Every structure is written in C-alpha cells, then in structure tokens.
Structure 1
C-alpha cells in the first residue's frame, strides 16, 4: 500500500545541510510516510551526503537534469510522490519531530473540504541557531475558507503561510493547480498555495513546526527589491483568478505592505550579514 504522506526534497548544492535536513525528516513521530529526494545536478557533494540514506526503506533517491529553475525539481519530486498528502522540504530546512503528525491530525479533523494546513516556523542562521521564533500566519488560525485565506495573503504583502516546510497539502489539489507555479519565482510557494486554496480551505496551526534556514549569502538588497515586484505581480494574478475574493483595494493594501516589507528586509539583510561575519 502507498504511504499516506510523501515528504519530498528538491536538493541542490546543499552539501552543508542536507544530512541534517534528512535526519529531521526521518525523525518524524508520524510513521506512514515516504521520503522522495531528487538532486538537481548539484556541483558540490550533495549526492555524496545523501548516499548514506539510501539504505532506509522509506527513502527514494532520484536525480533531475540541469536547468528549469526550482520548478523543474519541485515538480519532479512532487510528481514522483505516491502519498495522498505532500510536504516539500528544501534541502537546508528542518522539520520539528511532531510536524507531520500535528499537520495530518489537523487536516483530518477539518475534513475533506480542507486542502492545505500551514504552521508557523522558526528562522535559523547558517549555523542552525534560532534568531526569530514563531513567525508566520499573521493572525490566521483554525479553519479558514480558501478564498478568505487567499485574500489575507494578498493583503499581507508577504507570504504569511511560509515556506513549503511549513505546509502540508493534498496531492490531488496540487496536481489540479498545475503543480508548482513559478510565474513569479520568489513566490513559487505562495503562488502555488493561492491556486490550491481556490479549491478548498486552509487550516492554520499557530505553533512552530519547522525551521527555515537563511544566510547572508542568499539574501541581498537586490533580492528585496525583486521580491517586492513579484509580490505585486502575484497580487494582480490572484485578483484575476479570484475576482470574487480579491478586489482592487486588497491589491493596493498588499502592495503598500509589500513596500514596507521590502524596506524591513533590507535592514534584516544588513543585520544578518553582520551576524554571520561575526560568527
């Protein structure tokens, strides 16, 4: 029989962190799962770091040809999943031991009309040290109608549902959405959540169940500016897809908040750079 949950890992140049990520996944208290990993033509030792996990019967190791951006590998692992539920974990993020068990229980309690469950997460630096706890959701809690959740995401100007490690979703809803949507690459997660939530409801758990790793090398002032532009593009697209849920006022509010978030990110990137250089 197929496992209930597929944890899928699109790995790329994660040699420093992938083993820790895999250990956090395999330490889940929820047992009815498989782990599908695909390396996206890494140029470092990611493949070698993954090799010891091949002996675990829960683990399937694949490879993805170069090119195609994140979408190619995110789609590769998601399409290969056999579980009813999918959690995508990037190759440097971490799951808390109860993450899958808590999210599966929440989705089951909500019933068939719920398609996605999200939790808060902690932010950790390159050394794995927490520097911000309990981030995300922006007040969303419990069961939220999908269109209301989409509107809340647009109005936030950010991605309050968090990175994929914070989320568990139904595989059939992801497939119906056309898999991962990289129309706006920095919004590949939120853009996909939006299309999934037009099919059903959100369940929001106000507890931290994952850790998202950030580093000074991957964050920059230029990135903050690009994220603002793509946030605006995402908001406009959600209005086009769901005009009954997202209005022009929602888009304007979201764009204003996205500008503020971009300025805050610039300060955060400078602070994080100093923190990492001092380590």
Structure 2
C-alpha cells in the first residue's frame, strides 16, 4: 500500500555512458504534466560524463546513484527497480524521451480502472535519430484499448517482432514486481519484451493509441551492439514464449512468426545500413 507522502509513480533510468543524450532524457521526464513522481537514476559506473550531467540537476524529485562496479544491463536494470516507492513504475533507457503527457495519460488508465486486472499500460512510440529527428512518427501495431494476454501474445508471435514497445512505452503496478523474476538478459535482445510477458502472465494489456514517447536509434545503444544476433535471439524468445501453455501459441502461429521475423530482420538491416552506413540498430524500426 502506498504511504502518505510517497510519489504515485517511480520513473527509473538505468544509465551507462549516455553522456550525449541523458540531459534530454532527464528533462523530458522532469517536464511531465503529471508531477507526482520520483526519478531514480542508476549510473552503471560510466566512463564518460553521464553521472556528472545527471547529478547536476537540482530537482527534489530526482536522486542519482552510482554503482561501485559495472553490473551490466541486466544487473543495473534490476537494481533500478529494487527500491521504487511509487504505486506505478516506468523504466526509461538513458537515450529515450517521454513526451509531456506520457505519465498523465498512462496513470489515468490505471486510476480510472482500479482493480481491473490490467497489468501493463503501453503507448505507441516515435522512432528518432541521434539528433532527435523523427524517422517514424508513430509505430502502431496494436489497436487501442484492452487486450487479453493470450490474444496479444499470439499476435506478437505471428508478427515476429516487438509490438508492445521498448521500456519507455510501458507503465505497470509496482505491486506486481514480487511476482516476476525481474529483467533477464539470457536472450539479450528481448530483455524488455520478456519482462512484458512476465507482466502479461498476471493481467491484461491496455494500449493507448498515441505516441507518448520516443525510442532513439544510435550506435551507442545496447541493442545496436547485438547486431546480427537479432533474428536468432527473437526466434529463441518466441520459442520460449510458445512453450507456455497459458499463451496458447500454435504451430501455425510460430510458422507465420518465423517468416515475419526473417522479413523484419532483413528489412531493418538494410534500413539501418542506409541510415548510418553500418547496421547500427538491427531491428530498431520494427522492434
């Protein structure tokens, strides 16, 4: 139960060498129209000026921590959700951006539907380049409204790509965290999507049909370093998900999904080679 005086929302940033983008990320959170939140930033022993930039902000809602040693993405992401005080949680990577009414609109879904069985509220997202220019104004792969976990999972498998969005797209109740095993990088490319699936084991998805955040593609992001493993790792994720009986994934779902996954992988590879001269962010346009 949320205690008096505690923030309703915890926004957390697991940060590593995000010197180029972290100021814009932090500002986008502090400038939210919804103000009852805390912002926790966990620097994973960055070797650039990320920590100093984050620590320079003087806002009572913000706290910055620095790991004594580098924990890696899995370790730092899990540390970032270990001490949340909010009723709801949002994790934002250190190069992404929230649009001003993101928290307001996502919190409203939960607060207007108490005890509704919704475990995850997501929004559509915009894809931006390193300079913040919009490359795709709106990724829209899931219809507006409430979706049963079985239905949305089978659609995800058939489409062979992440239709729910990156961490910044989602907001979820902190009360569900004890019923998850946190973020797992066993399949690195789908660390965020695997966590969404944990939440969908516990309730339904609600999709807001607006772009409320921006996912940045750059050669500095973790997913960009995964490169050509994208296809194989997404197939591994699909197979893991299909093995769970509650999601009712069929052989036909998997067959269609593997074809679409291959198409997405090839298309995104070509797209990013054209964008930057190298395959900077495999899967970024379609993930």
With structure 2 as the length reference, what TM-score do the two structures score? 0.89
Aligned partners of 1:272, 1:241: CA distance in 2, in Å?
38
Shift of 1:148: 1.7
**Residue in 1 aligned with 2:123?**
119
Matched, 1:105 2:108: yes
Aligned partners of 1:181, 1:229: CA distance in 2, in Å?
17
**1:106-129 residue CA offsets vs partner (Å, 9 max, x unmatched):** 223344200101111111111111
In 2 relative to 1, CA 219–188 (structure 1 residues): closer, same or farther, beyond 3 Å?
closer
**Residue in 1 aligned with 2:281?**
none
8 Å CA contact 2:142–2:164 kept in 1: the answer is no
Matched, 1:8 2:9: no
**1:23-50 residue CA offsets vs partner (Å, 9 max, x unmatched):** 0000001111000101001000001111
Aligned partners of 2:239, 2:223: CA distance in 1, in Å?
25
Q: Where do 5+ consecutive residues of structure 1 fail to align?
A: none
Matched, 1:166 2:172: no
8 Å CA contact 1:107–1:203 kept in 2: the answer is no
8 Å CA contact 1:220–1:266 kept in 2: the answer is no
**Residue in 1 aligned with 2:49?**
45
**Residue in 2 aligned with 1:80?**
83
Shift of 1:173: 2.0
**Residue in 2 aligned with 1:252?**
255
**Residue in 2 aligned with 1:30?**
34
Q: Which deviates more from structure 2 when the two are superposed, residues 225-234 or residues 57-66? A: 57-66
Mapping of residues 167-206 of structure 1, within 5 Å: 167-206=170-209
Aligned partners of 1:222, 1:72: CA distance in 2, in Å?
18
**Residue in 2 aligned with 1:151?**
154
Matched, 1:139 2:142: yes
Q: Where do 5+ consecutive residues of structure 2 fail to align?
A: 279-287
In 2 relative to 1, CA 121–204 (structure 1 residues): closer, same or farther, beyond 3 Å?
same
Aligned partners of 1:224, 1:263: CA distance in 2, in Å?
12
Q: How many residues align?
A: 273
In 2 relative to 1, CA 253–224 (structure 1 residues): closer, same or farther, beyond 3 Å?
farther
Aligned partners of 2:207, 2:224: CA distance in 1, in Å?
31
8 Å CA contact 1:224–1:265 kept in 2: the answer is no
In 2 relative to 1, CA 221–146 (structure 1 residues): closer, same or farther, beyond 3 Å?
closer
8 Å CA contact 1:219–1:269 kept in 2: the answer is no
Match 1:231 to one of 230, 234, 243: 234
With structure 1 as the length reference, what TM-score do the two structures score? 0.92
Q: Which deviates more from structure 2 when the two are superposed, residues 71-80 or residues 240-249? A: 240-249
**1:159-189 residue CA offsets vs partner (Å, 9 max, x unmatched):** 1111111111112223311111222111001
C-alpha RMSD of matched pairs (Å): 2.0
| Secondary structure at the counterpart of residue 133 of structure 1 | strand
In 2 relative to 1, CA 23–244 (structure 1 residues): closer, same or farther, beyond 3 Å?
closer
**Residue in 1 aligned with 2:98?**
95
Q: Which deviates more from structure 2 when the two are superposed, residues 263-272 or residues 4-13? A: 263-272
Aligned partners of 2:6, 2:220: CA distance in 1, in Å?
39
